[in-house]
Structure 1
Amino acid sequence: MEIDNNLKILRVKLRCNSKKIIEDIINRNVLLNDKDKKLNDEICLFCASLNDLTKEHVLPKWTFENCTTKFFVTDVNGSRQKYNKTTVPVCAECNNSLLGSIESHIISILKGTDLSNSYYNGEQLQNIIRWLEIIEYKFQLLEIRRRFNRAKSSEYIDYLKNIPISIMREEINYSPSIAISQIRLAQKRVTTKSKMKNLNSLVVFKTVNKHFHFFHHLDDFIFIELPKFRVALFYFYTRTFDDNEQAKDEATKIIKRFYN
């Protein structure tokens, strides 16, 4: 199948270039002390190509119905970020030929399954997980590239302004090395083919809500509600469960905290 081939190509590209991508991320976003340091040109964050770079949306435009006003709020500093402006650099080939094809396949899965009388098969569930893990990787890249500036409710502190948002997290003790390690883990998830052991970590809800909802916590979980397909997906990136009901219970607790 075309989807299998494209996923394989993406895995190989990222696996072969992961070290170069990490080095570029560190030089561009973590080693900030040298004001005179000249940065190299941007590279594709999947294959490290310098050519034909495009702006790849972290969340595909079809998920938020290409609405230009919808936004999410970053917990770290309370800043708002519009979905349609939330992008990372990806070359045209990876964007259009690979990621675009994967998204089209996910749309066909969601569109072709009525949860009232059917369910996704094992391979479809694995592909949904693969897609959600690609989104997590893109979010990791986004947050290491975005700058803290200041917390919305705090005074401006000059020396904090250029620190990446992903580093300014209390749960990782404001550690650059942990932030980079989490990007490496996100890369590893994308480059790992089998998702069989993660099937119980994906919770699928049938929904009748009419509005898109989304929340996400780096290296932890993602929730995305897609009213067009009458489905909501919750996925734990790092936790595994003995059965899906256990995951559903945990997901429901988190949804009650964050859903609004």
Structure 2
Amino acid sequence: MEIDIKLKTLRVQLRQKSKEIIDDVLNRHVSRINDKNKSKEEICVFCANKHNLTKEHVLPKWTFENCNKKFFVTEVNGSEQTYNKTTIPVCANCNNNLLASVESYIISIFNKTDLSNSFFSNEQIHNIIRWLEIIEYKFQLLEIRRKFFKSKSSQYNEYLRDIPISIMRANINYSPNKAVTQIRISQRRITEKSKASKENSLVIFKTKNENFYFFHHLNDYIFLELPKFGIALFYFYSKKFENPKDAKDKAMKIMREIYIS
């Protein structure tokens, strides 16, 4: 299948260029050296290409129906950012060829599957997982690029104003090394071919809600509710489960806590 070729190409080039991409992250976003010594030239976060760069949406526009008013709030400092302006640099080939093919495939299987009378095949489940892992990687890159000073409402030490938001997390002890390690982990997920061991980590719900809804915790989980397709997805990035019920129970507990709060 064409989608297999596209995903393999994505895996191979990211595996080959992962160190170059991480080195750029360290130099551009983590190092505290003088800005004059930092490269002004962006690179593609999937292949390290410096040419024909485009703005790739972290959440595909079709998921939030291209609404320019929908936004998410960053827990670290309460900053708000609309989905349509949430982008990272990706070259034209990776964006318009590889990632676009993955998204077209996902849209296609969502359109063809009515959870009232059918379900996804194992192969389709594996590819949904691959798609969600690509989104996680994009979020990791986004949060290392966003600076703590972008919030207008929070208080902070002036020294911290240009620290990436992804570092300012209590669960990683405010560690730059741990933040970069999580990017490496998200890269490795994409470059791993088999997703059989993660099948139970994906929970798929039928939904009748009319509005798009989303929440996400770096290197932990993602929830996407897609009313257009009557589908909601909850995926645990770092956890494996012995059976689907355990994953569903855990997902429902998190959902109840977040919906209540």
Name the TM-score class by shorter chain.
Answer: over 0.9
- Which residue identity does 1:242 align to in structure 2? E
Q: Indicate the SS of the match to 1:228.
A: coil
Q: 5 Å matches for 1:1-260?
A: 1-149=1-149, 153-259=153-259
Equivalent AA in structure 1 for residue 164 of structure 2: P
Once residues 55 and 152 of structure 1 are traced to their aligned partners in structure 2, the CA distance between those partners, rounded to angstroms, is 25
TM-score, normalised to structure 2's length? Answer: 0.97
Counterpart of 2:143 in structure 1: which amino acid?
A: E
Moved more, 37-46 or 177-186: 37-46
Q: 1:31-71: per-residue Cα shift (whole Å, max 9, x none)?
A: 02324323141000000001100000000000000000000
Return the offset for 1:151.
Answer: 5.8
- 1:156 and 1:131 map into 2 onto residues whose CA distance is 36
Instruction: Give the match's secondary structure for 1:259.
Output: helix
**What is the aligned-residue RMSD (CA, Å)?**
1.1
* TM-score under structure 1 length normalisation: 0.98
Are the equivalent residues in 1 in contact too, given 2:21–2:45 (CA < 8 A)?
A: yes
Q: Which amino acid aligns with 1:198?
A: K
What letter matches 1:235 in structure 2? Y
1:97-121 Cα shifts (integer Å, max 9, x gaps): 0000000000011110000000000
> Match of 2:208, SS?
coil
Structure 1 residues without counterparts, runs of 5 or longer = none
- Deviation track 1:124-182 (CA, whole Å, cap 9, x = no partner) reads 00000000000000000000000011666543532111000000000000000000000
Q: Is the 8 A contact 1:150 1:160 kept in 2?
A: no
CA distance in 2, matches of 1:183, 1:74: 18
Counterpart amino acid of residue 4 in structure 1: D
Q: 1:154 to 1:87 in 2, by over 3 A?
A: closer
Q: How many residues of Structure 1 are paired with residues of Structure 2 in the alignment?
A: 260
Structure 2 unaligned segments of length 5 or more: list them.
Answer: none
CA distance in structure 1 between the partners assigned to 2:154 and 2:81 by the alignment: 18
Q: Could you tell me how far apart the structure 1 residues matched to 2:98 and 2:61 are?
A: 16
CA distance in 1: counterparts of 2:213 and 2:153, whole angstroms? 25
